[in-house]
Amino acid sequence: MEKQKEDVVTIKSSNKKNTNKSVKSNKKIETKNIANKDNKVVVITGVTSGMGNEVTKRLMEKGGYTIIGTCRILLSKSINEMASWNEKYTKSDLHLAIGDLTEMAQVRNLFYNIKIKLQKLGFDRIDILYLNAGQMLQKIDMSSENNELQWASNYLANVLLIELLLPLLRNSKDARIILTTCDKALKTKLNWDIINNPKKYSATALYNQSKLAELMFALEFDYRHLDEKNIRTFVVNPGRVRTNLGLRYTTGFQRFLCNLRNLRACSVEEGIASVMYLIEAPNLPSRVVYYKNMCPKMPSNYALDLCNREELYKSSFRILNLPLESPQDLEE
């Protein structure tokens, strides 16, 4: 097996000068390597900006959390910001792990690093897995593994992380997996022609497909793991939130539209309300997966359809070379 590269960084505060320069990602910047064993163990993807960043900060402020935050590259800006949180909020601790979620090889490496880091901190479980990272692109582009970038980072990477981290989630008494979707995903249907031939379609179409797939996968995962009462799956629709989504690598009219959209969007603080609720609420109604404005909502009939979900679930496992679990699946 290919040797895994260790890439988790425990951050300290000595990088205050050179903001916004990337640092060598496998550099060890060790300081805080202890954690309170009573802490809730949280993994959050995409902590460098927007809602992932805000939720991380909020959990640091509250205390009682050991957080592994993931980012695609390590910028000294992120290190400085998060190092200052580690210094200021001593009742939680934050560690960074690096991986570009468009490449499944990197996602597997990220999983390995999360696991090793948790082991070093003395944890064999994950209580909260907040799969927040996502991107909205202007143009269709393919990864080196030939997956469309948004489909890969917004959907495939999440499926892979959930499946790889499942043993750690199973060790928690109350594990919660949280994904995100958007309004448009509820008004669309999965179209395998779009997913298989992305170059024929718009980047927006692929974004919406990825967000619908997140919702449908969460519903199917919840259904398939009903007997595991200690693992709950949720999908949050935050509505329109004023973040960097859609603005990275976007120029011209598209950028103008994104900025216009942001004018009517809610603040990041408002946008994370449902996620914070799902992380903190001691008791949540069972079998409710989809949330908006901190309330359970009905997903679309298309997303609820068992056949549609099963097709997506099995296809995703095939794409990711993951073994299907149930005896029914194995018969096929």
For residue 145, the minimal CB distance to ligand NAP (Å) is 13
CA pair distance 167, 12, nearest whole angstrom: 30
3-state secondary structure of 16: coil
How many angstroms separate the CA atoms of 21 and 78, rounded? 10
Residue closer to ligand NAP, measured from CB, 51 or 83: 51
H or E element, residue 292: strand 290-292
Q: Which residues 6+ apart lie within 8 Å of 328 measured at CB? A: none
Cα dist. 178→75, 161, 282 in Å?
Answer: 26, 12, 15
Least distance from ligand NAP to the Cβ atom of residue 17, Å? 21
CA distances from 149 to 139, 152, 174, 183, 289 (A): 10, 5, 32, 21, 26
What residues pair up with 290 in beta bridges, in sequence order?
Answer: 235
Q: Of 295 and 306, which has the nearer Cβ to ligand NAP?
A: 295
CB 147 within 8 A of CB 60: no
Residue 236 beta carbon to ligand NAP: minimum distance, rounded to whole angstroms = 8
Residues that bind ligand NAP (CB under 6 A): 46, 48-52, 71-72, 100-102, 132-135, 153-154, 180, 182, 238, 240-241, 243-245, 248, 265
HSE-up (13 A, CA, CB side) for residue 165? 33
**Helix 76-88 to helix 50-62 angle, to the nearest 10 degrees?**
20
Could you tell me the smallest distance in angstroms from the CB atom of residue 185 to ligand NAP? Answer: 8
Nearer to ligand NAP, 37 or 248 (CB): 248
Cα 23 vs. chain centroid, distance in angstroms? 23
Query: Of the two residues 92 and 180, which places its CB atom closer to ligand NAP in the complex?
Result: 180
CA distance 201 to 195: 9
If you ran DSSP here, which 8-state letter would residue 316 be given? H
To ligand NAP, the closest distance from the beta carbon of 249 in angstroms equals: 9
In terms of CB distance, is 169 or 258 closer to ligand NAP?
258
Task: Compute the least distance from the CB of residue 35 to ligand NAP, in Å.
Answer: 23
Which of 124, 183 has the CB closer to ligand NAP? 183
Nearest approach in angstroms of CB 81 to ligand NAP is 12
Q: Which of 100, 220 has the CB closer to ligand NAP?
A: 100
